[in-house]
Chains A and B, each alone.
Chain A
């Protein structure tokens, strides 16, 4: 077991790679009641074309299957794993993103029992035709719920504008039509391909004894028979650099219009330190332009174009990425024009001062401290970083190293009208 110490943050991290390839991390948090554990596979909604384990040909699976599998893994021959967790005083959950599926629990007692339950239920699938059919009603309602949610529609609408071929444009839960094609055999095929321990990471954070917990995981894994697994082959179609659509306007049952401007990212082949630096620099750039202390934000607010729903965000993963800026507005066309103008203006040198940059960096460093109060943040983000070969605990030193030149050259490169797109939601007439 490897031990890593972070002096400034006064945290310690323990790590071991199991014989079957599973990565295990433990971060002890003294003084906390809660232990939080996530068991995550590097498999999400975008992994829809791949070579199944033991086969030679690529297959394309129905949209929404990674999320469907997440739901179905909780059901076993003798009942529901939720019940098991609550008998042990724990609360369990799971989520599926574009690139990951995570199973988790939190509990303040019986941590070892709950950890055993988590690992074992994820590692023992049980799918039957009957339960697969039953789940279609439940997930159908989940999909309909999102269909009525204008913010979700706006967000996905923008992604679909930006991406032409990449499966990031497919809704994570799929559609009622696409999930109707899911069968237990499809689920097993996905499970067997992506849930091998060598494609997974277990993170435990809480008031635990790392020695003891690592030992427990080691014994648990040693008792299971996993064969070595060849590298997973995934396929993604080529994606042009430019945005697929310039603009999309959707009509919905809302009172206030919504507008989001997106930029399709560059460098989506990065990993490791390079990716971390790019991602953080992009975040700093957006903060400088649209943060609440920026002049641009102040002008937009004064002119009545934005309210407190205004926000901005940057996402970067393997093969796709985007920045998004916007919110509720009474004048969606004017807002999208102004945001694009602000972005274009940021390309010219001398837009930002050293003082502004230092302030933006301080803000991000403080936000990081606040975030690591949260066991959920630590486990989920650490996993996301690790799957991209980055280290969560490099965030502060990397931020400290960002210069005006870094921000300027990123702005110059990434901001381009051909990669812009706009999505708006307006009230139905």
Chain B
């Protein structure tokens, strides 16, 4: 196994992480900015990266920037937002060809860094304001992006579950912010927020590819320098266990009902029983050999998909399935039975070994893509831990049946959300 070597270097205002590998034909540069999730900032943070990438001092029009990217052998640039625990994370990703595989030997990596620095540090600004026209266009696009969740019922029902389950907690906020807060953003107040974010956010630069640490460090320190800072910590959320399960049904014109169930695992990345929780999730619903798939789909023929997944930094587990409106009670019943079975230790040794093998495989496969590798490494930034991938694999391998049963009994059912097309689910 080739556990990837991540080297970390303290830079001015951010951490540089370099992973040298010759697996890929391209090099990947990722810039990440993390701040506590708040109602006040989330919509601005959703708009900010879009504004930065669409208009910079050197490339005021998107067309010019995009032509430059094409020129660099179709380098890709995109921005991304994520919620991890109580944090909101902005990412800028650049993937650029390694000229070793091109007939044109002109070096490209440095150009990628220059581009990133241009976008992050030299926006299109006049006085103390972003370009007004850009802001208006990007606000319009952001509104459409927020609205589009409604049109994808799988995403919509998942977002609604979180909203209902985490009401009053920052985690209930949507990753793209609130529609009602978009209009209040101006070219001036967003520019103020931009300065604030680059002063206060926890920032990390990842570089993966056939690169030399020394070259990367040199390019980074030349082009990217910020004030040093102490990253802000999100306040701990105290969650009370519900005395009664929160059951929410919503009616819409849909053919298939969407069933989403949320649990509080009370276990987060970095906790000693986190690896046990992973194995638990694998036996319960993570894979096509898991209890949910076998019992909801294969045995009862109720669904095409029935699965569970973890939100590692928030301590949640979500079950999702698409079912006929009339089968609500039966499906919920089967899912509860599977959870009860887990709590009683009603699973075979074979299920346990099988699940460990599949999780191990999944982690190793994830390491084969540069973005997957970065996702795994970034857990340590969010959770302020230093867990090596090798430790992860070893610890998971040691998980016992008793530990799984103990972990299962820590998990609390919180909210059942059902998006239904008819009254049949009542």
Select from chain A the residue with minimum beta-carbon distance to B77: A292
Q: Mark B66-82, 1 if CB is under 8 A from A, else 0.
A: 11011111111000000
Chain B residues near A149: list those with CB within 8 A: 152-153
In this complex, what residue of B is CB-closest to A258?
Answer: B151
Set B70, B101, B254, B358: member contacting A91, Cβ < 8 A: B358
Q: Does A338 have its Cβ within 8 Å of any Cβ on chain B?
A: no
Contact for A144 among B24, B255, B353, B354, CB less than 8 A: B255
| Beta-carbon contact of A369 and B25 below 8 Å | yes
A158 to B324, CA, bound (A): 27
A293-313 vs B, CB cutoff 8 Å, 1 = contact: the mask equals: 111011001101001110000
| One of A57-65, A104-112, A212-220 at the interface | A104-112
Q: B304 touching A91 by the CB < 8 A rule?
A: no
A249-300 CB contacts (< 8 Å) to partner B: 253-256, 291-295, 297-298
Q: How far is the CA of A307 from the CA of B355 in the complex (A)?
A: 42
Decide yes or no: A33 and B365 within 8 Å by CB, A8-B103, A328-B148 being known contacts: yes
The smallest beta-carbon distance between A398 and chain B, in angstroms, is 14
Instruction: Please provide the chain A residues from 85 to 126 with a CB less than 8 Å away from any CB of chain B in the complex.
Output: 86-92, 106-109
- Of the candidates A80, A109, A141, A254, the one whose C-beta lies within 8 Å of that of B361 is A109
Residues of B contacting A373 in the complex (Cβ-Cβ under 8 angstroms): 23-26, 369-370
B322 at the binding interface (Cβ < 8 Å): yes
Nearest B-chain residue to A371, judged by Cβ: B25
Taking a contact as CB atoms under 8 Å apart, the answer to whether A86 and B73 are in contact is no
**For residue A287, which residue of chain B has the nearest CB?**
B70
Tell me, yes or no, whether B256 is within 8 Å of chain A by CB: yes
Contacts of B21-73 to chain A: CB distance below 8 A: 21-26, 61-63, 66-67, 69-73
- Does A359 reach chain B (CB closer than 8 Å)? yes
- Say if the beta carbon of B316 comes within 8 Å of chain A: no
| Partner pick for B357 among A8, A88, A292, CB 8 A cutoff | A88
Which A residues, 132 to 147, have Cβ-Cβ distances below 8 Å to chain B?
134-139, 141-142, 144-145, 147
Contact A33 B367 (CB under 8 A): yes
State the interface size on chain B (CB cutoff 8 A). Answer: 74
A359 to B71, CA, bound (A): 5
Q: Are A87 and B350 in touch, CB under 8 angstroms?
A: yes
Residues of B within 8 A of A139 (CB): 304
A345 at the interface (CB under 8 A from B): no
- Given A291-B70, A365-B74, decide whether A428 and B253 contact each other with a Cβ distance below 8 A: yes
Structural contact, A108 and B97, CB atoms closer than 8 A: no
Q: Is A223 an interface residue (CB 8 A)?
A: no
- Please give, as numbers and ranges, the residues of chain B lying within 8 Å of A151 by CB-CB distance: 152
Measured in the bound complex, the distance between the Cα atoms of B364 and A417 in whole Å is 51
The answer to whether A293 and B67 have CB atoms under 8 Å apart is: yes
- Per-residue contact bits, chain A 334-374, to B (CB 8 Å; 1 contact, 0 not): 00000000000000000000000001101111110110111
Contact B301 A138 (CB under 8 A): yes
Cα-based distance from A369 to B97 in the complex (angstroms): 7
Contact A33 B364 (CB under 8 A): yes
Cβ of B410 < 8 Å from any Cβ of A? no
Indicate whether A9 reaches chain B with its CB closer than 8 angstroms: yes
Q: Is the CB of B62 within 8 A of A301?
A: yes
The chain B residue with its CB closest to the CB of A374 is B369
State which of A256, A297, A365 has its C-beta within 8 Å of the C-beta of B102. Answer: A365
Task: Answer yes or no: B409 CB below 8 A from chain A CBs.
Answer: no
In this assembly, does B222 line the interface, its C-beta being within 8 Å of a C-beta of chain A?
A: no
The residue that A366 contacts in the complex, of B1, B73, B324, with Cβ under 8 A, is B73
Q: Are B151 and A370 in contact (CB under 8 A)?
A: no
In-complex Cβ contact of A363 among B22, B73, B150 (8 A): B73
List residues of chain B with CB within 8 A of the CB of A298.
61-63
| Alpha-carbon separation in the docked complex, A428 to B76 (Å) | 37
- The answer to the question of B271 belonging to the interface, with a C-beta cut-off of 8 Å to chain A, is no
Shortest beta-carbon distance from B148 to chain A in Å: 6
Q: A86-B354, A137-B301, A141-B256 are in contact. Are A362 and B368 (CB under 8 A)?
A: no
Residues from 355 to 402 in A contacting B, C-beta threshold 8 Å: 359-360, 362-367, 369-370, 372-375
The reply to whether A369 and B26 form a contact with Cβ atoms under 8 Å apart is yes
Q: Are B144 and A256 in contact (CB under 8 A)?
A: yes
Residue of B nearest to A136 (CB): B301
- In the complex, chain A residues whose CB is within 8 Å of the CB of B313: none
Asked if A293 meets B364 with Cβ closer than 8 Å, knowing A141-B256, A365-B102, the reply is no
A9: chain B residues at CB < 8 Å are: 25, 101
A156 at the interface (CB under 8 A from B): no
Does B368 lie within 8 Å of A33, measured CB to CB?
yes
Contact of A31 among B23, B62, B152 (CB under 8 A): B23
Known contacts A145-B256, A150-B151, A298-B62; A33 and B1 CB within 8 A of each other: yes
**Chain B residue contacts of A107, Cβ below 8 A:** 361
| Chain A residue nearest to B22 in the complex (CB) | A31
A372 vs B102: C-alpha distance in the bound complex, in angstroms?
A: 13
Residues of A within 8 A of B304 (CB): 138-139, 141-142, 145
Pair A108/B365 contact, Cβ less than 8 Å: yes
Q: A148 an interface residue at 8 Å Cβ cutoff?
A: yes
What's the nearest-Cβ distance from chain B to residue A259, in Å? 13
B86 within 8 A of A: no
CB–CB B289/A82 < 8 A? yes
> A326 to nearest B CB, angstroms?
14
Inter-chain contacts of B102 with A (CB < 8 A): 8, 365, 369
Known: A141-B303, A293-B69, A309-B148. A32 touches B255 (CB 8 A): no
Contact of B240 with A by CB under 8 A? no
Instruction: Report B47 CB to chain A, min CB distance, Å.
Output: 13
Closest 10 CB pairs of A and B: A366-B74, A137-B301, A366-B73, A89-B357, A363-B74, A293-B66, A142-B304, A108-B364, A293-B67, A292-B66
Q: List 20 A-B contacts (CB under 8 A).
A: A9-B25, A33-B365, A34-B368, A86-B357, A109-B361, A137-B301, A138-B298, A145-B304, A148-B153, A255-B150, A255-B151, A301-B137, A307-B140, A307-B145, A365-B102, A366-B74, A367-B74, A369-B101, A373-B370, A374-B369
- Tell me the B residues contacting A by CB distance below 8 Å: 1-2, 21-26, 61-63, 66-67, 69-76, 95-98, 100-103, 137, 140-141, 144-145, 147-148, 150-154, 252-256, 287-289, 297-298, 301-305, 322-324, 350, 353-355, 357-358, 360-362, 364-365, 367-370
Residues of A near any B CB (own CB < 8 A): 8-10, 29, 31-34, 80, 82-83, 86-92, 106-109, 134-139, 141-142, 144-145, 147-151, 253-256, 291-295, 297-298, 301-302, 304, 307-309, 328, 330, 359-360, 362-367, 369-370, 372-375, 428
